[in-house]
Structure 1
Amino acid sequence: MTGSANLNTMIKAARKAGRSLVKDFHEVENLQVSSKGPGDFVSRADMRAEEIVKDELMGARPTYGWLGEEGGGEDGEDPTRRWIVDPLDGTTNFLHGLPHWAVSIALEHKGEVVAGVVYDPAKDECFWAEKGAGAWMNETRLRVSGRDKLIESIFATGLPFGGRPELPETLKACGRLLPTCAGVRRWGAAALDLAYVAAGRLDGYWERRLNPWDIAAGELIVREAGGFVEAMDAGERVLESGSIIAANTEIFGKFAKLVRG
């Protein structure tokens, strides 16, 4: 693997946090039987993973800014660069003992993501990209799928839960899309949904009301794998809007039209 010093630091941090999370994940499986439940334990695992990532990244680049799911945002001495980190994307999966969750790390420079890493420790799959250098999974070059027929394509989204206000919109989008395609998946980890689009495992992904740390790394990985990415409102920037549509270029127009309504 060849990459910049920053990218190598990001991969090292993701793998180190991943090792910690794997240990905690095995404990979660044991905690399922306790009356207290594993929720508090998982939040501690999440925070511990963020501390590991932050120590690695800020140790290597102490002047950069920081935006993390657990610790919030901090300005750096260098106002042009910041790390954007989700130490555990797919927390609900983790909580239930489902082995589908990831560490997501992005580097932003002057408002643009220039490097991204999404690491799935349970499967030891590390998806990564740098702007202009392509996208990779471990040592394998990634390319979005070449499917051009909706009826042969599968898509992913997040289904809103717990009374979130975007549920009606999402159900309407599913109602328009499902009759036209080969299936819609709900995996429960936005970073991995995007990585899977980049790898050609999914043909497209859409979701609303996301946070920057959910999608910053994955968005770049899709673009570098030859995919196309827009916000739900085509005039907005993805990270600022918190919404995303990602797909291969062959199918993007038809897919986007259906999910936008």
Structure 2
Amino acid sequence: MINELHIHQLADICRLASDVEILPRFRHLGEDQVEQKQNHNDLVTIADKAAETFIMAKLRALFPDALLIGEESVYADASALAMFNEAELSFVLDPIDGTWHYANGSVNFGVMLGIAHFGEMIGGIIFEPVTGDYLWAIKGKGAFDRIKGVDHPLRVGRHADLALSDTIGCYSFGVTKESERDKAVKAVMQMGRIMDYRCAAAEYRLLVTGAVSYTIFQNTLNLWDHGAGQLIATEAGACSKMLNGQPYEAQINGKLIVAESEARWEELAALFR
């Protein structure tokens, strides 16, 4: 249904949206072009909305029968999510993942596009507007980092033999629920050095390129933040499961651990049980 030619065609749509709607506004946003959604750290910009409209129009022209799910359109009307598991072909878009970074002039943001078949991710792209490079994967065919038009196969596990205390990882500790805070503090003391990028696109890249040994996401796990990243990570050999051992599902709440090996996943999960 989706082949490599489609993937690169879709990445080119992300590139065009970046050239037309995202990069021209980067570090040039006016105060009236940035809005709060749920709080002052949850932002949306004119570029998010324009890029989503641009990409959705291109997708609709190429795949008129597909279900289109975009972060900004779902924020206004979540009805499309209810059709995800029944749709033969779906596209799940985050037009700018890491909007906080984008709005504050940081380069840690990306366009995330997942492709699904009856609720199962079969393709994924994480496009980086600043570099023009992108991560991509097709289910069962591996994951790749396309840099300046050349594909580099991705395989996690570079630090699998290190003790956990010697690793570097990502963990969204700052949004830990009050009832879980004591356990989280004790876990952090055994986890080596941790970071929180507030950008799934950046953290999935760090994991699949071997820069970090794990990334832990928690609370609301939106499909547009994790659909493409989950496929790319698992195709690169990562072990990705919820804390209860179940696979990630769309729009779920909880703790998602994505690690460079199953042994590393078990080691991390044990800290939170």
Shorter-chain TM-score range? 0.7 to 0.9
| Greater displacement, 107-116 / 143-152 | 143-152
Task: Tell me the SS of whatever aligns to 1:180.
Answer: coil
Check the 8 A contact 1:17/1:103 in 2, yes or no: no
Residue in 2 that maps onto 1:23: 24
Check the 8 A contact 1:154/1:203 in 2, yes or no: yes
Task: Tell me the SS of whatever aligns to 1:251.
Answer: helix
Report the alpha carbon displacement of residue 255 of structure 1 after superposing the two structures with TM: 1.4
TM value normalised by structure 1: 0.85
Task: Tell me the SS of whatever aligns to 2:27.
Answer: helix
User: Percent of aligned positions with the same letter in both sequences?
Assistant: 22
Task: Tell me the SS of whatever aligns to 1:238.
Answer: coil
Residue in 1 that maps onto 2:265: 252
| In structure 2, C-alpha distance between the alignment counterparts of 1:49 and 1:167, rounded to whole Å | 33
Report the alpha carbon displacement of residue 159 of structure 1 after superposing the two structures with TM: 4.4
Matches within 5 A, 1:26-175: 26-28=27-29, 31=30, 36=31, 38-40=33-35, 43-72=45-74, 74=80, 79-138=87-146, 139-147=151-159, 148=161, 149-160=163-174, 166-168=176-178, 171-172=181-182, 174-175=184-185
Read off the aligned partner of 1:235 and give its amino acid letter: Q
Give the root-mean-square deviation of aligned CA atoms. Answer: 2.3
Check the 8 A contact 1:231/1:241 in 2, yes or no: no
Task: Tell me the SS of whatever aligns to 1:26.
Answer: coil
Label 1:234 to 1:104 Cα distance change in 2 as closer, same or farther (>3 A): same
Report the alpha carbon displacement of residue 252 of structure 1 after superposing the two structures with TM: 1.4
Q: How many residues are treated as equivalent by the alignment? A: 247
| In structure 1, C-alpha distance between the alignment counterparts of 2:9 and 2:179, rounded to whole Å | 39
Report the alpha carbon displacement of residue 242 of structure 1 after superposing the two structures with TM: 4.1
Q: Provide structure 2 residue ranges, at least 5 long, that are not aligned to the other structure.
A: 36-42
Task: Tell me the SS of whatever aligns to 2:72.
Answer: coil
Residue in 2 that maps onto 1:177: 187
| In structure 1, C-alpha distance between the alignment counterparts of 2:191 and 2:248, rounded to whole Å | 27
Report the alpha carbon displacement of residue 227 of structure 1 after superposing the two structures with TM: 0.6
| In structure 2, C-alpha distance between the alignment counterparts of 1:210 and 1:119, rounded to whole Å | 20
Label 1:39 to 1:227 Cα distance change in 2 as closer, same or farther (>3 A): same
Is 1:9 matched with 2:9?
A: yes
| In structure 2, C-alpha distance between the alignment counterparts of 1:173 and 1:192, rounded to whole Å | 26
Task: Tell me the SS of whatever aligns to 1:239.
Answer: coil
Task: Tell me the SS of whatever aligns to 2:259.
Answer: strand
Read off the aligned partner of 2:171 and give its amino acid letter: T
Is 1:234 matched with 2:245?
A: yes
Check the 8 A contact 2:171/2:194 in 1, yes or no: yes
- 1:99-135 deviations in Å (ceiling 9; x for gaps): 1111000001122100000112123331111111111
Deviation beyond 6 Å, 4+ runs, structure 1: none
Report the alpha carbon displacement of residue 60 of structure 1 after superposing the two structures with TM: 1.1
Read off the aligned partner of 1:14 and give its amino acid letter: C
- 1:127-178 deviations in Å (ceiling 9; x for gaps): 11111111111121111133232122111123456xxxx4336644542333
Matches within 5 A, 1:202-241: 202-208=212-218, 209-235=220-246, 237-241=248-252
